[in-house]
Amino acid sequence: MHESVPTNTSLWSKGMKAVIVAQFLSAFGDNALLFATLALLKAEFYPDWSQPILQMVFVGAYILFAPFVGQIADSFPKGRVMMVANGLKLLGAASICIGINPFIGYTLVGVGAAAYSPAKYGILGELTTGDKLVKANGLMESSTIAAILLGSMAGGILADWHVLASLGVCALVYAGAVAANLMIPRLAAARPGQSWRFTPMTRSFFSACSLLWRNGETRFSLVGTSLFWGAGVTLRFLLVLWVPVALGITDNATPTYLNAMVAVGIVVGAGLAARLVTLETVARCMPAGILIGVAVTFFSLQHALLPAYAILMLIGMLGGFFVVPLNALLQERGKRSVGAGNAIAVQNLGENTAMLLMLGLYSLAVKVGVPVVGVGVGFGVLFVLAIAALWIWQRRR
């Protein structure tokens, strides 16, 4: 029997604590696994251009399963959906440990992540209400970024010591996330009884896409978050190649330290957004989005470690301030129209399509020999232009 939706909507209710812990462990595993698997590719002499392909198979799972994961999140208790999804991540990490092709194992992790995302964000609207939703998103983002910070560092440091050991740690962390999911209250399904036939499911999903893209506020959120995460994942891979070129450092740990500075900044930026931005003043985040591109351009021209750390922390602060209000806006408006799970699934489709396109461009640029600095400057300039165009378009409408 399902428990009723809890009346305690505190940010620190039992359910919210369990969600935050599970999210921390799951995100920790995701980021440690990425750098551990990149170290494995390096140890097995895969070409440099294959590194972004690893992330492309991951985001490809998001795109392929986008029409279905939103309905899954809304048709079952979201805590149990999160548990099964983390179980798939555990299976993928374990398969890499035992020698299965890393691209296959990482694809399985991507399938788990695709199922996990609509549930983890959608459950926030079931555990909190009203004005607390932005703050709940701030907690979720802070937990995620803390996990990125620690997971990235752990993945790189452990990989420098022993690649197989780092992969084993990732599997254990996913097992901990599965256990944490069991502590989430078994809430009633948001939209039970929907059809599981392929045609109605896909029709329902694309109907949700159409509805959200026709609405000015949700379209604004979808485009903004898609641009942000597409550029963010490209920056992560850019760092892996930028460090040896600009700094002459060839270990696995230094790129993870630089990624960690972005994570620290996002925690700060998310906290500021929770204090300074509401659903009615979301447009306040747009100048921060433009400045992200400016900062990426300046970063690409650096040749010393200390200013690189400082600029990356600034990029993180701007990113946290930019993306948290947009996430909250989509969850609130999406919950009213197509359901929170479907709204996040549509968002995942947009974000991961942007990631796939930007990673494809990045991989192509590396393969044809474009200098790493040129790639960074180009992405920074394009991001400034894209966010500025989005802001102008939204203000005119």
Q: Over 90: is that where the pLDDT of 311 sits? A: yes
Task: Please state, rounded to an integer, the average pLDDT across all residues of the chain.
Answer: 83
Q: Are 160 and 36 in contact (CB under 8 A)?
A: no
Q: Over 70: is that where the pLDDT of 385 sits? A: yes
Q: Over 80: is that where the pLDDT of 238 sits? A: yes
Q: Which position has the higher pLDDT, 29 or 99? A: 29
As a three-state string, the secondary structure of the chain is CCECCCCCCCCCCHHHHHHHHHHHHHHHHHHHHHHHHHHHHHHCCCCCCHHHHHHHHHHHHHHHHHHHHHHHHHHCCHHHHHHHHHHHHHHHHHHHHCCCCHHHHHHHHHHHHHHHHHHHHHCHHHHCCCCHHHHHHHHHHHHHHHHHHHHHHHHHHHHHHCHHHHHHHHHHHHHHHHHHHCCCCCECCCCCCCCCCHHHHHHHHHHHHHHHHHCHHHHHHHHHHHHHHHHHHHHHHHHHHHHHHHHCCCCCHHHHHHHHHHHHHHHHHHHHHHHHCCHHHHHHHHHHHHHHHHHHHHHHCCCCHHHHHHHHHHHHHHHHHHHHHHHHHHHHHHHHHCCHHHHHHHHHHHHHHHHHHHHHHHHHHHHCCCCHHHHHHHHHHHHHHHHHHHHHHHHHC
Q: Over 60: is that where the pLDDT of 252 sits? A: yes
pTM over 0.85: no
Stretch 207-228: mean pLDDT, rounded? 86
pLDDT at residue 195, as a whole number: 67
Q: Over 70: is that where the pLDDT of 192 sits? A: no
pLDDT at residue 189, as a whole number: 66
Stretch 292-300: mean pLDDT, rounded? 90
Stretch 381-391: mean pLDDT, rounded? 86
pLDDT at residue 391, as a whole number: 82
pLDDT at residue 2, as a whole number: 43
Q: How many CB atoms lie within 10 A of CB 373?
A: 16
Model confidence over 154-177: pLDDT tens digits? Answer: 888 898 888 898 999 999 999 999
pLDDT band at 1 (very low <50, low <70, confident <90, very high): very low
Model confidence over 253-267: pLDDT tens digits? Answer: 888 888 888 878 887
pLDDT band at 9 (very low <50, low <70, confident <90, very high): low
pLDDT at residue 5, as a whole number: 45
Q: Over 50: is that where the pLDDT of 6 sits? A: no
Q: Which position has the higher pLDDT, 335 or 82? A: 82
pLDDT at residue 4, as a whole number: 42
Model confidence over 346-384: pLDDT tens digits? Answer: 887 888 888 888 888 888 888 888 888 888 888 888 888
pLDDT at residue 193, as a whole number: 63
pLDDT band at 313 (very low <50, low <70, confident <90, very high): very high
Share of the chain above pLDDT 90, in %: 16
